[in-house]
Structure 1
Amino acid sequence: MIAMPLDMPVDVPVAQCIEIAANEFKVPEEILWAIRIVEGGRRGLVKKNKDGSIDVGVMQINSVHFKEFSGKYSVKPSWLVWNNCISVRAGAYRLSKEMARAKTFWRGVGSYHSRTPSLNRRYVEKIKATLVQHGRSARSLAKYAEQRFEDTMKVSYQPTL
């Protein structure tokens, strides 16, 4: 388990973070919401993968990216777990990087999850289905996510020393 750090930067609600990160990294807000919903992430969540890696936080950032975020940006893995905005900004950064690298928009979106063609396509279908389900509306996606993940700023945990 990754403990909540005492030196973690101030956090704000997920909806505000997604709006800011979408503008900062020039990615569609609706896509960030859809990724968040498909990934099923929330503050404090750590999921172990079959390959031994872990996915953490709101945007379920994979541990293979920890070194890059730590080295280039001084972002601690525990911040990705416990800080909504840091997780969302990291996710938006990864999405923008993959979209710039890919030859098509949807391949870039799918590469957030995997560059393996079959996994990429399957992920894109999940993202598209989520967008269709919510009428491609950022407001609808945000409302659904707030209800599903109980996106509040209430702290129901204590820092570990």
Structure 2
Amino acid sequence: MPFIVDLPPMEQERVVCAISAAVKYEIPANIVLAVAEKEGGKPGQWVRNTNGTHDVGPMQFNTAYLGDLARYGITADDVAAAGCYSYDLAAWRLRGHILNDSGDIWTRAANYHSRTPRFNAIYRADLMQKAGQWAAWLDEHFVTRDVLEEGGQPVTTAQRPAQPVQTRAAQPVQERAAAAQGATLTGYVPRRISFRTESEGSGQ
């Protein structure tokens, strides 16, 4: 990714790891980038919350979720480590929220931070702003797809569980209107990255 070489080393890692994780788990890349920017953690960092839990590592992964990871042999040290692994774990968790939670895609993604409505709403609003900026950046450097376009899906059919995410076309009219209003106000559009060769892009 030659267009990030002028970024500071920590930011280079964040961008590369966030995009890689988004592609791997097939979720909107600008959502992962926006969450990574918002969390802004560092390797080895532990931040204590008022409820007694801690937010750990580059993606500030909450220790309340470590029980889910323990069955796979994943520890807090793994979450706190440098490198892309913590971004993979965060994308895995975001994918679960996007697939299984209720509400629009922004509310589901903001559940990464909190399911409590008032905290979710604050995080969601800022997430949408940051994701809109990242969407524009991604469009400059990648072939992207709007996952809210008619028939668009946040994940592929092959990886969809028993309870699929609703398509935009299947959402209630009120929810579609609210989503459209949010996109208009913020410029936010979820982005999936596609990879193609120059010959494919030119139609040859």
Contact 2:41/2:60, CA 8 A, preserved across alignment: yes
Work out the CA distance in 1 between the residues paired with 2:138 and 2:87: 15
Contact 1:131/1:137, CA 8 A, preserved across alignment: no
The aligned counterpart of 1:5 is none
The aligned counterpart of 1:6 is none
Contact 2:106/2:128, CA 8 A, preserved across alignment: no
Work out the CA distance in 2 between the residues paired with 1:102 and 1:130: 21
The runs of 5 or more residues in structure 1 that have no matched partner are 1-11, 141-161
The aligned counterpart of 1:69 is 69
Q: Which has the larger radius of gyration?
A: 2
The aligned counterpart of 1:33 is 33
CA gap of 1:21–1:132, structure 2 versus 1, over 3 A, is: closer
> Percent same amino acid among aligned pairs?
27
TM-score (norm 1): 0.71
Q: Deviations over 1:55-111 (max 9, x none)?
A: 01111000001111121x211110110133221011001100011112321121111
Count of residue correspondences: 128
Work out the CA distance in 2 between the residues paired with 1:130 and 1:19: 15
Where in structure 2 are the equivalents of 1:16-95 lying within 5 Å? 16-71=16-71, 73-95=72-94
Q: Deviations over 1:126-146 (max 9, x none)?
A: 112223455642489xxxxxx
Contact 2:34/2:134, CA 8 A, preserved across alignment: no
Contact 2:18/2:36, CA 8 A, preserved across alignment: no
Contact 2:44/2:80, CA 8 A, preserved across alignment: yes
Work out the CA distance in 1 between the residues paired with 2:129 and 2:44: 26
CA gap of 1:85–1:127, structure 2 versus 1, over 3 A, is: same
CA gap of 1:135–1:23, structure 2 versus 1, over 3 A, is: closer
The runs of 5 or more residues in structure 2 that have no matched partner are 1-11, 141-204
Letter in 2 for 1:28: P
Work out the CA distance in 2 between the residues paired with 1:138 and 1:58: 21
Other structure's SS at 2:47 match: strand
Higher relative contact order (CA closer than 8 Å, sequence separation 6+): 1
TM-score (norm 2): 0.57
